[in-house]
Amino acid sequence: MKHVYGPVPSRRLGQSLGIDPIPFKTCNWNCVYCQLGRTSPLVNERKNYFPPAEIVSEAVAAVKAHRPEEIDWITFVGSGESTLHSSLGAMIRELKAMTQLPISVITNGSLLYLPEVREELLAADAVLPTVDAGTDIIYRKINRPAPELDFARFIDSIAQFREQYLGKLWIEVMLVQGLNDSENALQDLAAVLRRLRPDEVHLNSPTRPSCEPWVKSVDEQALGRAQRILGEVAKIVRPAHGDFDLTGFDTVVDAIIAVITRHPVSEEELMRLLAKWQPDRVRESLEDLQSSGRAQVVTRDDHRFWSCVEARYINENLSRCLDGNAHNQGPQI
Ligand code: SF4
């Protein structure tokens, strides 16, 4: 299937059937922690990147191929920004007419200032926008949005959406060491989140390779501090455990490509997911994929991750060359 994958274990949504409605890394942000590499170029145009009927028909076929208890959520989660697909609302409504399963949308929330996007998302059972910053300066440092995207309008539009929306508004905060984990940064974020009245705030920190090599996840102490400052609504999200549905893949190569195309995976995790094949066969296939340019290895903190070749990661040495100094200690605020 081209647009639908899983169900896969999700940190926040249990077993989630993923729908990816846009081309790889089509996004209007360029987050420093993005696991899909750098966004180049930034794209801020809404359109039908793929025919909506094709996406819906794949999703319906995937739902029919599973027992209801095997899927907790159907989730629009683009390998980029889902709301850039201009038929997102129509697709949500069509799927809701065909299945009882709840539908969620993972989004950066940047297009909620458009009335039509707010209207489209009203149909979803849960909307999960990202708010990493309480100030414009931190927003620009972490999310690196397209220049026309404005922080004050971004926050105002989520508040406006909250006024209308009856479903679950679960806001994700991705904490990055040295960027948004200080007492001041968290106090600013708390003030913004109080305005947005989310049902839950999900505290996360990068566990997969970030596009920028200097990005560091925060420790338990910082997670605890964030939870204290952001209040009862904040929950710490732990890595998901579960299996990627690999039924339907006859060869180990197809299975590897399916797993790494949307999420880089640590070598250890990949070996576990592919346990139905002999380890030697898996290693041989990985080597072949790497040498033929169909997969890449990205190393972060001495951990090896496998990823698709389209993802543009910056390695530490390149970062030093380009900027003339070391970025691996992270930017200072
Ligand atoms: S993390 Fe999401 S919003 Fe940020 S650049 Fe990557 S795809 Fe875009």
What CA–CA distance (Å, rounded) separates 190 from 192? 5
Determine if ligand 1 sits within 6 Å of the CB of residue 172: no
List the domain boundaries for the chain.
4-236, 252-323
For ligand 1, atom 4, name the residue with the nearest CA. Answer: 31
Output the furthest CA–CA distance in the chain (Å, rounded).
56
- What is the pairing mode between strands 73-77 and 103-106? parallel
Determine if ligand 1 sits within 6 Å of the CB of residue 36: yes
pLDDT tens string, the chain, 333 residues long: the values are 889 988 888 888 889 999 999 999 999 999 999 999 999 999 999 999 999 999 999 999 999 999 989 999 999 997 899 999 999 999 999 999 999 999 999 999 999 999 999 999 999 999 999 999 999 999 999 999 999 999 999 999 999 999 999 999 999 999 999 999 999 999 999 999 999 999 999 999 998 999 999 999 999 999 999 999 999 999 999 876 666 767 677 889 988 988 888 789 999 989 988 988 999 999 999 999 999 999 999 988 888 999 999 999 987 544 443 443 333 333 323
What's the confidence (pLDDT) of residue 243? Answer: 66
CB-based contact 281:259 (threshold 8 Å): no
Distance 173 CA to ligand 1 centre (A): 13
What's the confidence (pLDDT) of residue 242? Answer: 65
Determine if ligand 1 sits within 6 Å of the CB of residue 39: yes
Distance 283 CA to ligand 1 centre (A): 30
What's the confidence (pLDDT) of residue 173? Answer: 98
Q: What are phi and psi of 255, to 5 degrees?
A: -65, -40
Distance 209 CA to ligand 1 centre (A): 13
What's the confidence (pLDDT) of residue 52? Answer: 98
Distance 280 CA to ligand 1 centre (A): 35
From residue 39, how far is each of 30, 75, 299, 308 by CA, in Å?
5, 22, 19, 15
Determine if ligand 1 sits within 6 Å of the CB of residue 80: yes
For ligand 1, atom 2, name the residue with the nearest CA. Answer: 80
Determine if ligand 1 sits within 6 Å of the CB of residue 35: no
What's the confidence (pLDDT) of residue 180? Answer: 97
Distance 27 CA to ligand 1 centre (A): 6
Distance 44 CA to ligand 1 centre (A): 13
What CA–CA distance (Å, rounded) separates 293 from 74? 32
Distance 252 CA to ligand 1 centre (A): 29
Tell me the best of 30, 107, 108 to mutate to test the pocket of ligand 1, counting ligand atoms within 8 Å of each CB and taking the most: 108
- Which of the four CATH numbers 3.30.300.210, 3.20.20.70, 3.10.300.10, 1.10.3720.10 does domain 4-236 have? 3.20.20.70
Determine if ligand 1 sits within 6 Å of the CB of residue 29: yes
Determine if ligand 1 sits within 6 Å of the CB of residue 30: yes
From residue 296, how far is each of 214, 261, 299 by CA, in Å?
19, 11, 10
Fold of 252-323: Arc Repressor Mutant, subunit A (1.10.10)
What's the confidence (pLDDT) of residue 333? Answer: 30
What's the confidence (pLDDT) of residue 331? Answer: 33
For ligand 1, atom 7, name the residue with the nearest CA. Answer: 80
